[in-house]
């Protein structure tokens, strides 16, 4: 009976990991994210046009750096959300394993990046 409960708990932990991964993927493919990406594309075009207008390479490089930083921050945030979900699932798995009898920790079952 206890083994069945532990296995059900492990299944729930696995489903939680899958949920976080799917949620991140859905967010990346959502209409809002697509719209924001489109807006960012327009902003990028605007920035590139304005940077061409200025003869100073310094201003254009600042705009490019800001654009790259914003993209990196968005990707980093999505990765952190996914990693947090995977970590929670692993911790539940480990806790259930220790209750069951101390089986070896498995670590992250889905090591894929964003």
In angstroms, rounded to a whole number, what is the distance separating the alpha carbons of residues 31 and 19? 19
Q: How confident is the model at residue 113 (pLDDT cuts 50, 70, 90)?
A: very low
Among the listed ranges 3-12, 52-61, 65-74, which one has the minimum average pLDDT value? 52-61
Quote the pLDDT of residue 11: 81
Across 81-108, average pLDDT:
75
Q: Residue 102: its pLDDT value, please? A: 54
Residue whose C-alpha is closest to residue 113's, from 91, 82, 87: 82
pLDDT of residue 1: 67
Q: Is the dihedral of CA 82, 88, 91, 92 positive or negative?
A: negative
**Domain residue limits, the chain:** 2-100
Q: Mean of the per-residue pLDDT values for the chain?
A: 75
What sections of the chain are H helices per DSSP?
Answer: 2-29, 31-53, 57-100
- Asked if residue 16 lies in contact with residue 89, where contact means CB atoms within 8 angstroms, the answer is yes
Which band of pLDDT confidence, cut at 50, 70 and 90, is reported for residue 114?
very low
């Amino acid at each position: 009976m206890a083994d069945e409960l532990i296995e059900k708990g492990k299944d729930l932990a696995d489903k939680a990991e899958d949920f976080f991964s799917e949620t991140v993927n859905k967010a990346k493919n959502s209409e809002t994210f697509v719209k924001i990406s489109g807006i960012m594309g327009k902003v990028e075009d605007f920035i590139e046009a304005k940077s061409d207008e200025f003869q100073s390479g310094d201003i254009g490089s600042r705009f490019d750096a800001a654009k790259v930083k914003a993209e990196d921050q968005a990707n980093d945030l999505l990765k952190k959300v996914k990693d947090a979900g995977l970590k929670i699932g692993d911790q539940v798995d480990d806790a259930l394993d220790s209750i069951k009898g101390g089986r070896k920790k498995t670590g992250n079952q889905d090591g894929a990046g964003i």
